[in-house]
Amino acid sequence: METTDSGVSGERVAAIARGIRRRALELTIRQGGCYLSQALSSADILALLYGKILDLGPSTAPPIPEAFPGVPRPGFHPVGADYNGPRDPDRDRLLLSAAHYAVAVYAALVEVGRMDPTGLKQFNADGSSVEMIGGEHSPGMELTTGSFGQALSQAGGIALARKLRGDSGRVFVFMSDGEFEEGQTYEAIQAAVFYRLGNITVFVDVNGQQVDGATKDVMNIEPLADRLRGFGASVESVDGHDVEAMERAAARPHENHPLFVLCYTDTARGVSLLETRKPNLHYVRFASDQEKQVYVDYLETM
Amino acid sequence: MTTETNVHSRNLVRFAADKPEIVVLSGDLTGSTEIRAFKDAYPDRFFSLGMAEQNMMSWAGGMAREGYLPHVHTFAVFMYRRALDQIEMSIAYPNLRVRMFGFLPGITTPGGVSHQAIDDIAVLRAVPNMTIFEMGDATDVESVLNLAHDIDGPVYVRMIRKEIPRLFPSDKPTEYNKARVLSKGTDVTVVSSGIMTEEAMRATACLQTKGVSVEHLHVSTIKPFSDERVILSAARSRQGVLTVENHTTIGGLGTCVAELMAEHGMATKLRRLGLRDTYAHGASQHYLMSEYNLDAMSVVRAVEEMVGEPIGVTENDLATVRISEFTATAQLEAL
């Protein structure tokens, strides 16, 4: 079995990714709808991050998530990121920018043993903190990011603060490609480059789809790599299902520049039944019991 | 009354001296928002974020999460208008300790509609977790950093700059959620805020000499708005309550007072001076105050209507109680 410095095998990462896809499909069937395609396109990225790249301490959160604790207020601040371990100076941080990917993060937390599988049963249930589009009270989430394009700016502030303090830990941001239609994203890149924030690494799930259809038809963002290089960022473009390639890309030295790893992905990856429904996969629900049964049968093979 | 210059500039440098967690964020308006002295004194704690306010507000949230205390400076319109979603999601929802200094309130700038913050209070008052202070004089400005420092959450300061009046004793700092009682009386209660207080003071001084008993309150804390002094004064006033604000009358000080009066079951009449559901335009503060009925004479006329008879105050009467001199320098300044 091939292992790396961290002792994590490629098979282990692949198993996490398979688990994310299986759990997301399971939830979609049980709930009658879910952000399934996002989980399918990002499963390998999140598996690599949680399984291998991120240097995180043990979770300090309860294995079974507690009920929604209320909104932040003086003297009280819920921290879903406690599932990612303590925010120590030498530890990495993962900031989920595309909050619609919450289901994929929850599934990843289960796969790496940071959350109990029963936690997923609370998904999108009234009074639960395991929300459909999570907030900073939701497992694995540190920011409240359902309004797109804001996490990278917040990551800039966090990374600058960590740089000023001399923290050795890195700041990872997970973004979706649709966020590169938002003007604020480019303001954030401009500032992160200006302040030479080499402690930021951004993984982008370039799945080419958004609510209205294919990104190239809704509002083209390509050539994304050229755009980002134009801003002065370091950029790697890779197959977002090739774990080794992504790992190599993320290992590229970028001491004084934020690094963007553009992961080109497939929204039907692992559940090819969805191929025919492209590109309208933003929120997958089944039209009939008959269609649902096809996916139930498929789930048993995963 | 004296006029003082660059009060916030000096106060910020002094206040931050023993607070290394304070950082200042600038949106390419360093001189215009009185933070050049801070930049010179603490260059390592000054961060230029350029003309990119959405990023700047979210960035401030990020730094606040890491224990820094961002003091964000730009013109108010570029914060609450341009970057409202960022203020809400990156700062207010997480209840982060970010201090926002919004300059050019209302008609204080000849910069015209794009630069005049006429509805900032209305917008930000509706944002949960937000505390709001409005500055009316040098003592307000000298007090506000301290007031903000004690608050576990975001703070918006409606700031004034350059030459500003000293209306209140410097050894009597502004207090949290406590109006300053400038005169006692029982006929009419006048509640003013910001730059309108100086105008209202001129008016009330004249009105008192003509036999009208005016209770004048200056409000610096706009949110929360629950001051017992305002409630009691409004309840006591025989002829009604007059609010005077450099802001649209929808959602500002007048609305705050109206809500308080209604919640306390008062049937007292309320009149509100302010921008009457209109944008303004580029001209001098003096000119705009007259055009939009925001000057001392407008206060006198409103009180006349409330007491139901002419009081006989003339422009000459008002001129003799001018509190501080207007200057034309604001019109010459680059925006």
Task: Please judge whether A136 and B94 are an interchain contact, meaning their C-beta atoms are less than 8 angstroms apart.
Answer: yes
Give the nearest chain B residue to A160 (CA atoms): B63
Q: Is residue B335 predicted with pLDDT exceeding 80?
A: no
Q: Which helix (H) or strand (E) holds B167?
A: none
Backbone angles phi, psi at B45, to 5 degrees: -110, 10
B35 Cβ partners below 8 Å, 6+ apart? B9, B12, B24, B26, B46, B73
Chain A nearest-CA distance from B186, in A, is 39
A246: nearest Cα among A285, A278, A203: A203
| Span B145-186, pLDDT tens digits | 999 999 999 999 999 999 999 999 999 999 999 999 999 999
Give the nearest chain B residue to A73 (CA atoms): B95
Q: List residues in chain B touching A: CB distance below 8 A.
A: 47, 49-50, 52, 54-68, 70, 85-86, 89-90, 93-95, 128-129, 152-153
Vertex A223: Cα angle to A218 and A225 (nearest 5): 125
Chain A nearest-CA distance from B171, in A, is 30
Query: What gap in Å lies between CA B126 and CA A9, rounded to an integer?
Result: 52
pLDDT for position B334: 55
Find the CB nearest B66 among A77, A161, A184.
A161
Q: Is residue A6 predicted with pLDDT exceeding 80?
A: no
Q: Is residue B258 predicted with pLDDT exceeding 50?
A: yes
Q: Is residue A1 predicted with pLDDT exceeding 80?
A: no
Contact list, A183 vs chain B (CB under 8 Å): 54
Query: What gap in Å lies between CA B60 and CA B69, rounded to an integer?
Result: 8
| Span A97-110, pLDDT tens digits | 999 999 999 999 99
A37: nearest Cα among A212, A260, A270: A270
pLDDT for position B326: 43
Alpha helices (H) along A205-285? 215-218, 224-230, 243-250
Q: Is residue B126 predicted with pLDDT exceeding 50?
A: yes
Contact status, residue B261 vs residue B232, Cβ threshold 8 Å: no
Query: What gap in Å lies between CA A208 and CA A244, rounded to an integer?
Result: 22
Give the nearest chain B residue to A72 (CA atoms): B94
| Span A29-72, pLDDT tens digits | 999 888 999 999 999 999 999 999 999 999 999 999 999 999 99
| Span A110-120, pLDDT tens digits | 999 999 999 99
All structural domains of chain A: 10-60+78-299 (3.40.50.970)
Contact status, residue A25 vs residue A301, Cβ threshold 8 Å: no
| Span B65-122, pLDDT tens digits | 999 999 999 999 999 999 999 999 999 999 999 999 999 999 999 999 999 999 999 9
Q: Is residue A281 predicted with pLDDT exceeding 80?
A: yes
Task: Please judge whether A150 and B95 are an interchain contact, meaning their C-beta atoms are less than 8 angstroms apart.
Answer: no
Contact list, A165 vs chain B (CB under 8 Å): 66
pLDDT level of residue B319 (50, 70, 90 thresholds)? confident
pLDDT level of residue A282 (50, 70, 90 thresholds)? confident
Q: Is residue A5 predicted with pLDDT exceeding 60?
A: no
| Span A161-210, pLDDT tens digits | 999 999 999 999 999 999 999 999 999 999 999 999 999 999 999 999 99
Q: What is the DSSP string of B26-45?
A: ESS-TTTTT-HHHHHH-GGG
pLDDT level of residue B228 (50, 70, 90 thresholds)? very high
Which of B58, B68, B95, B97 to mutate: most A Cβ within 10 Å?
Answer: B58
B287 Cβ partners below 8 Å, 6+ apart? none
Query: What gap in Å lies between CA B185 and CA A94, rounded to an integer?
Result: 60
Contact list, B54 vs chain A (CB under 8 Å): 149-150, 153, 183-184, 187
pLDDT level of residue B320 (50, 70, 90 thresholds)? confident
Task: Please judge whether A73 and B90 are an interchain contact, meaning their C-beta atoms are less than 8 angstroms apart.
Answer: no
Task: Please judge whether A157 and B62 are an interchain contact, meaning their C-beta atoms are less than 8 angstroms apart.
Answer: yes
ipTM of the modeled complex: 0.95
Contact status, residue A262 vs residue A204, Cβ threshold 8 Å: yes
pLDDT for position A3: 45
CA distance to A57, A92, A118, A144, A208, per residue, from A87 (Å): 8, 8, 25, 17, 33
Q: Print burial letters for A162-176: b (CB count within 10 Å at least 16), e (below 16).
A: bbeeebebbbbbbbb
Please give the structure tokens belonging to residue B264. 């306390």
| Span B92-108, pLDDT tens digits | 999 999 999 999 999 99
pLDDT for position A280: 85
Find the CB nearest B55 among A77, A143, A188.
A188
pLDDT for position B1: 76
pLDDT level of residue A255 (50, 70, 90 thresholds)? very high
Contact status, residue A93 vs residue A170, Cβ threshold 8 Å: yes
- Alpha-carbon radius of gyration of chain B: 19
Give the nearest chain B residue to A194 (CA atoms): B49
pLDDT for position A33: 87
B11 Cβ partners below 8 Å, 6+ apart? B141, B142, B145
What rounded mean pLDDT belongs to chain A? 95
Contact list, B55 vs chain A (CB under 8 Å): 153, 156, 184, 187-188, 190-191
Q: Is residue A4 predicted with pLDDT exceeding 80?
A: no
pLDDT for position A2: 44
Find the CB nearest B59 among A71, A157, A162.
A157
All structural domains of chain B: 2-166 (3.40.50.970), 180-323 (3.40.50.920)
Give the nearest chain A residue to B47 (CA atoms): A195
